Amino acid sequence: MKLLSLAISKLARMRFWRIENWINHPVASQRHVLQHLITSAQYTEFGKKYGFSKLFTVKEYKAKVPIHDYDDLKPYINRMMKGETNILWNEPVNWFAKSSGTTSDKSKYIPISNESLQDNHYQANKDVLTSYYKNFPGSELLTGKGLVVGGSHQISKFSEDVQYGDLSAVLMQNSPFWGQWLRTPELSIALLDEWENKIEKLALITAEENVTSLAGVPTWTLLLLKRILEIKNKDTIKEVWPNLELYINGGVSFVPYREQFEKIIGKSINYLEVYNASEGFFAAQERPEDDGMTLYTEHGVFYEFMPVEEYGKPRPLTVGLREIKIHKNYALVISTTGGLWRYLIGDTIQFTSVNPYKIKVSGRLKHYMNAFGEEVIVDNSDHAIAIAAEQTRAIVNDYTAAPVYFKDGANGAHEWLIEFDKEPTDLHDFATALDTALKNINSDYEAKRHKNIALRLPIVHSLTKGIFSTWLHRKGKVGGQHKVPRLSNERIIIEEILAIKNEEEQLQFGLRI
């Protein structure tokens, strides 16, 4: 085991010259990626429809092929799931990543070809490892086990040859043999469907392993770590896993969770953020102190960046790397070796650097609050929550927020449902700190709060632990990649969660009587 780990780590350290090449020549790398995509798919049904064989420039590609959302590509994807080939991509696609929408019970099935597995997801993971070894040459990361708090695996009913599951499950199912040896627990446990039972088995097994790295959505990872401490009767995770050195997070901002992780782990470790979605692996931090994640430009994904003000227009404009502006919100548009063509994934990003190109995820196109022109995005709310928690000595597990509209002469407000691991002494102080932080971060919010003209002080509720999990469970979204939407411009989600809160309060009142 140790010899295998040392061999893999040595190979990883030798590959950095290739990473430097695409970091230093991102535009050329992107041009090469698009050429490969169009050439590979020119004889597919989609490629013939849009004349790929006659497209030779980025300008021609953008003029000929419209921007698509999932519903636009769904008829093609449904046929692929039934076993049809040469539809969106030129090789059979036997795997699909199931991605549940956060505001709907419907699921999306993202095609994952063998090429996208190898040249995007796995290659990007290798590059993360290579960069890590470059920055931490004394690392012993691969002398122990990696624990991924991932999703469940299912077999598709559309075809015997076509399978689907959460992205993490698809990646684990197809990983090479050496990847299986370096991971814990065994595949049968890692891919369990029933989440509560899975957490218990994960805790029991991995508590006895030499875990050196963790990866997963923060909320579910914290749940697992707390259970492990209960089982081992320890105060910190470092007492259980003394060689733990790295936590890789993604999916949601790590800002509100960092204090909890540092407390529960007990000693300093490295934290890296990655942008690894069902649609592709797009970016990763090179160093923990980096402001933003390095954009991966040579991994089978061609990027376009749509200014958010273009969203909803009949022919929205997109820009390339040479035209982007720092700290401006863009919707991400991608074309991939999985057969997604000018696909609008719904995330918004901001560039933090252009040399090299580094990005951060700022939110979702549909996850924001702008009922009064305040334009609050998730990046704003994550940082404001973290500031308020620090100032009031609170610890926030999770939160969601939505607007309260004008009614009966009262002006509007933002209503926040917050699950605290440690509650503030005074909830009003927390609301005031949150409000002040948002004013400092977002000038549009500050303007709407001026003299309470449009918005009054935020309404903050403290939720009993487990209410968010109950909501996710009722939505069939229990699992490693599912999370409560942070912000919404409608009140559907918040009303559903408030109803659960009221149910629990009534139950408690009945028990007291």
Q: Which of residues 6 and 234 earns the better pLDDT score?
A: 234
What's residue 267's pLDDT? Answer: 82
Q: Which of residues 4 and 373 earns the better pLDDT score?
A: 373
Give the chain's length: 513
pLDDT confidence bin for 7, thresholds 50/70/90:
low
What's residue 207's pLDDT? Answer: 93
> Which residue, 285, 215, 274, is CA-closest to 244?
215
Two tokens at 63? 């003029």
pLDDT in tens, 442-451: 877 887 888 8
Average pLDDT over residues 133-157: 80
- What value does the CA radius of gyration of the chain take, rounded to a whole number of Å? 23
pLDDT at residue 345 greater than cutoff 90: yes
**CATH assignment, 2-363:** 3.40.50
- Give the mean pLDDT of the chain: 87
What's residue 105's pLDDT? Answer: 35
What's residue 479's pLDDT? Answer: 57
Q: Which of residues 159 and 437 earns the better pLDDT score?
A: 437
What's residue 199's pLDDT? Answer: 84
Average pLDDT over residues 281-295: 94
Where are the chain's structural domains?
Answer: 2-363, 368-512
DSSP state string for 221-245: HHHHHHHHHHHHT-SSHHHH-TT--
Phi-psi region of 114 (alpha: psi -120 to 50; beta: other; left: phi over 0): alpha
pLDDT in tens, 374-409: 878 888 899 999 999 999 999 999 999 998 976 656
What's residue 254's pLDDT? Answer: 80
| Rounded Cα–Cα distance for residues 126 and 140 (Å) | 16
Which of these ranges, 54-63, 257-266, 336-345, 424-433, has the smallest mean pLDDT? 257-266
Which of these ranges, 37-46, 135-144, 282-291, has the smallest mean pLDDT? 135-144
For residue 138, the tally of other CB atoms under 10 A from its CB is 6
pLDDT confidence bin for 198, thresholds 50/70/90:
confident
What's residue 50's pLDDT? Answer: 98
What's this model's pTM, rounded to 2 decimal places?
A: 0.78
pLDDT in tens, 364-376: 887 888 777 787 8
CA-CA-CA-CA torsion sign (8, 10, 13, 19): negative
Which of these ranges, 159-168, 176-185, 304-313, has the smallest mean pLDDT? 176-185
What's residue 185's pLDDT? Answer: 82
pLDDT in tens, 89-120: 999 999 999 875 433 335 789 999 999 999 99
Q: Which of residues 175 and 21 earns the better pLDDT score?
A: 21
pLDDT confidence bin for 494, thresholds 50/70/90:
very high
| Rounded Cα–Cα distance for residues 199 and 149 (Å) | 9
